[in-house]
Amino acid sequence: MRTKQTFSIRFWQQVARATNGEAGLYVRITVNGKRLDISLKRRVPLSLWDDKKKQAKGHSTKARQINEYLEEVRSRLFDIYKELKYRDKIITAQIIKAAFNNDDEKSKSLLDLIEYHSKKIENTLSKGTIKNFGVTESYLKKFLEKEKKTTDIYLKQLDYKFLVDFENYLANVWPIGHPRAMSQNTIMKHIQRSRKMVTLAYHLEWLERDPFARWKPKYEKTNREFLSETELENLENHNFNSERLDRVRDLFVFSCYTGISYVDIMALKPDNVMKGIDGGNWIVTKRQKTKSSVKVPLLGRAEEIIEKYSNHPMTAVTASLLPIITNEKLNAYLKEVTNHVGIKKNLTFHMARHTFATTITLSNGVPIETVSKLLGHTKIATTQIYARVLEHKVSSDMDNLKLKLKSKENSDKKRNYIT
């Protein structure tokens, strides 16, 4: 059963704050006994205002203009009230004021969305992901300034062309400190993050439709670098004169045999090593990036590295499982490692994770579903990026097929001979 709504409008002049014989005009809206004042952002001479009739007095041009404006305000407020009532929406003085000031959900801007999204993810996503969103947001703001010649845009103005124009803008951006312009896949990442924010606005009902619904990403296929079995073996067996490079090699190899990322390795404590279902030692942790659980049985080489640093001065000070080093220094030192070992690839720490997925697990027949679980992926489609088939694995599989076919052929000959 509906309750009866009461709604009234009253204009008034704030005489208490009058200056130079003028005071600001306000409209007071009252809904069900709750009132709220809205500044009309107009000043009227005190001598021109009729406080009893709540309008400008006289028939001068200025008085007529003021009264016509007041009538427009009255009409607009009643229209807002009737629209809310017709749509069976909640009606409050605050909602009517927001709609009057174009501050309702349908008048949210792109910067409003960016601010809301930033607050939403600050405690739910990893620092790296938040940083990436921040970069995308900065490009959106620069795009508005340079290409759209504005500092903001209403969400209702977003359309397919906006996204296409943003994509073209990014294609011509040369990030500071980078050796080349932005790659196609990097552009797609920025577009993808922009779409996620706009999709959020759609779900919040700040938009009546998704303006980017028809847009399809265009990723370029890339070959993810990894170490071959021979390269990994050479790296493991190399004797470094430098303890610094020796530690860097150990951290990289540990990741090769566990698939654990840099940021998650740096967070490991001795308590993360637990007895698994098979009675052996496992690493049990959570991925900082996705918050998903990771449980990895420790292979022999990984256990040797843990043992090596169990009483090391560096781990004793930090109470960490392995030595702590910044990602920047780690990747810089890996360049030195490749020079010593003779690896011709551009070695980065993330390549260890690729090596685990490809050389250690998939090429040795570990099912992709298991590899996905070990890597802490939330979608198996992510793991399929690593599901390359190595030449020696193809050769091995074909050799097994030849043996089976040969065995079958011999059995058939023997059967025919007997009959």
The secondary structure of 11-76 as a DSSP string is EEE-GGG-BTTEEEEEEEEEETTEEEEEEEEEEEEGGGEETTTTEE-SSSHHHHHHHHHHHHHHHH
Q: So what's the pLDDT on residue 75?
A: 94
Residue 94 shares a structural domain with residue 111: no
Residue 376 shares a structural domain with residue 340: yes
Q: So what's the pLDDT on residue 175?
A: 73
Residue 130 shares a structural domain with residue 239: no
Residue 26 shares a structural domain with residue 125: no
Q: So what's the pLDDT on residue 395?
A: 67
Residue 92 shares a structural domain with residue 165: no
DSSP string, 169-213: HHHT---TT-SSSPPHHHHHHHHHHHHHHHHHHHHTTSSSS-TTT
Confidence band (pLDDT; 50, 70, 90) for 106?
A: low
Residue 271 shares a structural domain with residue 382: yes
Confidence band (pLDDT; 50, 70, 90) for 407?
A: confident
List, for residues 111-130, the tens digit of each pLDDT value.
889 999 999 998 888 788 89
CATH at residue 135? 1.10.150
In the chain, the amino acid numbered 149 is K
Size of the chain, expressed as the number of residues it contains: 419
Closest-CA residue to 376 (of 303, 286, 302, 299): 286
Q: Which residue has the higher pLDDT, 86 or 49?
A: 49
Average pLDDT over residues 193-201: 94
List, for residues 223-267, the tens digit of each pLDDT value.
678 899 999 999 999 999 999 999 999 999 999 999 999 999 999
Residue 81 shares a structural domain with residue 123: no
Average pLDDT over residues 130-151: 91
Q: Which two tokens stand for residue 98?
A: 């927001």
Average pLDDT over residues 52-72: 93
Average model confidence (pLDDT) across the chain: 87
Report if residue 213 sits inside a domain: no
Report if residue 208 sits inside a domain: no
Residue 272 shares a structural domain with residue 335: yes
Q: So what's the pLDDT on residue 419?
A: 59
Question: How many other CB atoms sit within 10 Å of the CB of residue 329?
Answer: 11
Rounded CA gap, 308 and 322, in Å?
A: 9
Report if residue 28 sits inside a domain: yes
Report if residue 2 sits inside a domain: no
Question: How many other CB atoms sit within 10 Å of the CB of residue 295?
Answer: 14
Number of compact structural domains in the chain: 4
Report if residue 381 sits inside a domain: yes
Report if residue 118 sits inside a domain: yes
Confidence band (pLDDT; 50, 70, 90) for 388?
A: low
**In the predicted structure, residue 291 carries a pLDDT above the cut 80:** no
Rounded CA gap, 220 and 187, in Å?
A: 11
Report if residue 221 sits inside a domain: no
Q: Looking at 85-94, 127-136, 155-164, 237-246, which range is the least confident one?
A: 85-94
Last residue of a domain, one of 168, 203, 238: 203
Residue carrying the six token digits 């703001």 = 141
For CA atoms 330, 332, 338, 339, give the dihedral sign: negative
The vertex-71 CA angle with 67 and 76, nearest 5°, equals 150
Report if residue 184 sits inside a domain: yes
Average pLDDT over residues 185-200: 93
Last residue of a domain, one of 57, 84, 103: 103
Q: So what's the pLDDT on residue 342?
A: 92
Residue carrying the six token digits 């930090």 = 318
Q: Looking at 99-113, 186-200, 285-299, 322-336, which range is the least confident one?
A: 99-113
Confidence band (pLDDT; 50, 70, 90) for 2?
A: very low
CATH at residue 369? 1.10.443.10
Confidence band (pLDDT; 50, 70, 90) for 293?
A: confident
Residue 127 shares a structural domain with residue 71: no
Residue 97 shares a structural domain with residue 113: no
Confidence band (pLDDT; 50, 70, 90) for 415?
A: low
Give percent above pLDDT 90 in the chain: 52
Q: Contacts by 220-225 with C-beta closer than 8 Å and gap 24+?
A: 220/183, 220/184, 220/185, 222/185, 223/388, 224/354, 224/358, 224/385, 224/386, 224/388, 225/345, 225/346, 225/351, 225/354
Q: So what's the pLDDT on residue 1?
A: 35
Residue 70 shares a structural domain with residue 92: yes
Residue 31 shares a structural domain with residue 179: no
Domain hosting residue 236, numbered range? 229-388
Average pLDDT over residues 25-30: 94
Closest-CA residue to 344 (of 249, 231, 240): 231
Q: So what's the pLDDT on residue 380?
A: 79
Q: So what's the pLDDT on residue 292?
A: 80
Last residue of a domain, one of 41, 68, 103: 103
